[in-house]
Amino acid sequence: MRMISSTPDVADLTTSVVQSAGHAAGAGDGAYLFIIMFLLASAVIVPIFQRYKISSVLGFLLVGVMMGPDVFGRIAANVPWLDDFSVMQSHAVHQLAELGVVFLLFSIGLELTFERLKSMRRLIFGLGGAQVILSAVVLTCLFAAMKTGWIGAAMLGMALALSSTAVVIPVLADRKALRTSSGRSVFAILLAQDLSVAPILITVTMLAGAANGTSQGLEGLLALIPALIGMAILVIGGRWLLRPLFNTAAVSNSRELFMAACLLVVVLSGQVAVMTGMSMALGAFVAGVLLAETEYRREIEVMIDPFKGLLLGLFFVTVGARLDVSVILASPGLVFGLASALIAIKAALVYPLARSFGLSPRSAVETAAVLGPAGEFAFVIIDEAIGHKVLDSGFGQAVILAAILSMFSIPFLAAIASRIGKQVQPQKTAEAPEVISEGETAARVIVVGYGRVGALVADMLKEHKIPFTVVDFNPQVVQRARTLGIEAWYGDASVPDFLARMGIEKVRGVVVTASNPGFTDQCVKAIRSVRDDVHIIARARDADHAQRLYQMGATDAVPETIEASLQLAENTLIDLGVPMGLVLASVHERRDVFRQMFGIRGGGGTSVLRAAQARVTGKEDAVAERAP
């Protein structure tokens, strides 16, 4: 009997295994389909938005809506093999998407140094701190008046007082507004909000405990101690370890290892922050600030930019997927009313604060408009409030949807505020644009390579008080230049993105002094692809290489062999008693002949030589006339 009864068990087990395998395969199909849809959005839909000068953030958000429950979810309900597309709602996808915000904060940190943070402390801790506190208090009172209870109202007030760093910064970047005074004030307030996330989360935990009768007053305050310890670990450990880590990666001359070091720093610093009660994004921001003072900063920016772009896009897609249109249609008045009221109240609070801190009317309008909507941390705090049952689930979901709608409006609000600002203040009179990144005294010349030739060029530029910066792919050379007080950066000058980070748009000239002809060719091509009007002076191996550089777009190419020969000839003629002016004119004529051979520019050397000969002859005649 046991053997007979075991047969159905085996059959059931086999069926279960087959079904599990099929489910796993389906889940894999769903994951692959999700990846295909996301990459399709990144490669096709978002560029269409950019072509028509519409913020790419909106493109990702709309893709998220299409991949959410109201579009793709309804299709999947009728197509069984799409049912496993629920991977979109999985915790793993949301964790991966949150890395986009982490990389964004890391890149923002790279644009700052502790000295710059110190110079911005009035805006960060003054304007930013006042915005967070005042918005939280006002919103708390309003929600309390809506009968949500004081604890739930306090959680909602703190959650919605914050704005969306992940959406606002890319929108301002698309509008080229990050380097303006309003962009600087927006950044300062967003940074203050990010710094306040850890205290807010601890306060939320304390309020939840008080609501459930498990008050954690002293324990909640003690929870700040691990955060302080974590911050100390990040700062002290980063000071000692980050530069040696990237120096080792740079010496290996492997872009893969350098990229691995970048990813390691972002993820590890974020995890240290999480383990000590802070947000992962704040830990990455601190690591970025520490790296901002190293010579590897520009190359790191180039390395992480693709990861930041894709992961931020994924974050926007997940935000859009949370927009449940059916719930909105069930209570449109409540959702749209909350969204409109939130934007209006926060903007009304930010504007007078910005004016009181010296911002012009135009900058204050632009600042208030983009900071009015809610931020991504509102989801975390509101979910926490619903989980602790201090907030009604239905009302909490309505607030989340209102927050998402407000985030959708940021690109439109930025455009509207720009137009209003131009009407309020047609001309910039009160304040000049300020930049976040370094560059108040932007270099007029970029010197690529700091070997013997590059060092001599740098010395001559310094002697004539022409600002310059040095770029080299050798970390030891860069460190040597920095010890001499020269602004030097580690990086590959043959990469257009790196040149853009170096401010190629503002320089007057680029001097390529590298001894490798192939690398020189790549640099000239990259520079000319970015700018058509910049002067490129390049070191050439010989006449053939110089002619090739001219064809690539170099303004001047200096062949080593020809210049050495001309120098020898010049010294020889001077030692033989030929007048200096005649020798220099002759050398100039010979250089002009070579340029004519390359077909670059016309003569003039012959006329110079004749003029020099005439001057010499005139002097000799004058001497002969004065002779007795």
Q: Is residue 584 part of a domain?
A: no
Top-confidence residue, 311 or 37 = 311
Q: Which residues contact 3 (CB under 8 A, 6 or more apart)?
A: none
pLDDT at 547: 86
Q: What CATH number should be reported for the domain holding residue 462? A: 3.40.50.720
41 and 182 fall within a common domain? no
Mean pLDDT of 278-301: 87
> Tens of pLDDT along 615-628?
444 544 443 444 44
Q: Is residue 592 part of a domain?
A: no
Q: Work out the percent of the chain whose per-residue pLDDT is above 70.
A: 79
187 and 244 fall within a common domain? yes
Q: Which of 58, 87, 116 is the last residue of a domain?
A: 87
Q: Work out the percent of the chain whose per-residue pLDDT is above 90.
A: 28
Torsion sign, CA atoms 69, 73, 77, 82: negative
> Tens of pLDDT along 398-441?
898 899 899 889 989 998 998 888 887 765 444 444 444 444 44
266 and 194 fall within a common domain? yes
405 and 541 fall within a common domain? no
Q: Is residue 465 part of a domain?
A: yes
77 and 116 fall within a common domain? no
Radius of gyration of the chain (CA): 32
φ and ψ of 614, to 5 deg? -65, -40
Instruction: Please state which of the ranges 22-36, 69-83, 278-292 shows the lowest mean pLDDT.
Output: 22-36
What average pLDDT does the chain have? 79
Secondary structure of residue 545 in the 3-state scheme: helix
Q: Which amino acid type is present at position 488?
A: A
pLDDT at 197: 76
**Distance, CA of 428 to CA of 421 (rounded, Å):** 10
Mean pLDDT of 28-40: 67
Q: Is residue 613 part of a domain?
A: no
Q: Is residue 608 part of a domain?
A: no
* The pair of three-digit structure tokens given for residue 104, joined into one six-digit string: 């964004």
**Distance, CA of 519 to CA of 537 (rounded, Å):** 14
**Distance, CA of 555 to CA of 543 (rounded, Å):** 15
CA dihedral 387, 392, 397, 398 (to 10 degrees): -160
pLDDT at 438: 42
186 and 70 fall within a common domain? no
Total domain count, the chain:
3
pLDDT at 33: 67
**Distance, CA of 56 to CA of 62 (rounded, Å):** 10
How would residue 222 be classed by pLDDT, with cut points 50, 70 and 90? low
CA within 13 Å, CB half, 254: 7
279 and 167 fall within a common domain? yes
420 and 523 fall within a common domain? no
pLDDT at 76: 65
How would residue 79 be classed by pLDDT, with cut points 50, 70 and 90? low
Note whether 550 and 557 are within 8 A (CB).
yes
**Residue 509 has what DSSP assignment?**
E
How would residue 590 be classed by pLDDT, with cut points 50, 70 and 90? confident
Q: Is residue 266 part of a domain?
A: yes
343 and 404 fall within a common domain? yes
Mean pLDDT of 250-268: 90
φ and ψ of 126, to 5 deg? -85, -70
Q: Which of 63, 87, 111 is the last residue of a domain?
A: 87
> Is it the case that residue 535 has pLDDT exceeding 80?
yes
CA distances from 559 to 543, 598, 605 (A): 6, 12, 18
Quick one: which H or E segment has residue 49?
helix 46-51
Q: Is residue 598 part of a domain?
A: no
Q: What angle do CA 21, 23, 27 make, to 5 degrees?
A: 115
Top-confidence residue, 446 or 580 = 446
pLDDT at 328: 84
* The pair of three-digit structure tokens given for residue 215, joined into one six-digit string: 């008050």
**Distance, CA of 393 to CA of 400 (rounded, Å):** 10
**Distance, CA of 299 to CA of 436 (rounded, Å):** 18
> Is it the case that residue 479 has pLDDT exceeding 70?
yes
Secondary structure of residue 608 in the 3-state scheme: helix
**Residue 52 has what DSSP assignment?**
T
Look up the domain containing 537 and give its range: 445-577
160 and 216 fall within a common domain? yes
Mean pLDDT of 446-452: 93
Instruction: Please state which of the ranges 5-14, 159-168, 217-226, 254-263 shows the lowest mean pLDDT.
Output: 5-14
**Distance, CA of 63 to CA of 41 (rounded, Å):** 7
Q: Which of 87, 116, 144 is the last residue of a domain?
A: 87
Burial class (CB in 10 A: 0-12, 13-18, 19+), 367: buried
291 and 381 fall within a common domain? yes
Q: Is residue 154 part of a domain?
A: yes
Q: Which amino acid type is present at position 354?
A: A
Order of strands across the sheet that contains 468-472: 488-490, 468-472, 445-448, 509-512, 535-540, 556-559
355 and 307 fall within a common domain? yes
Mean pLDDT of 516-533: 93
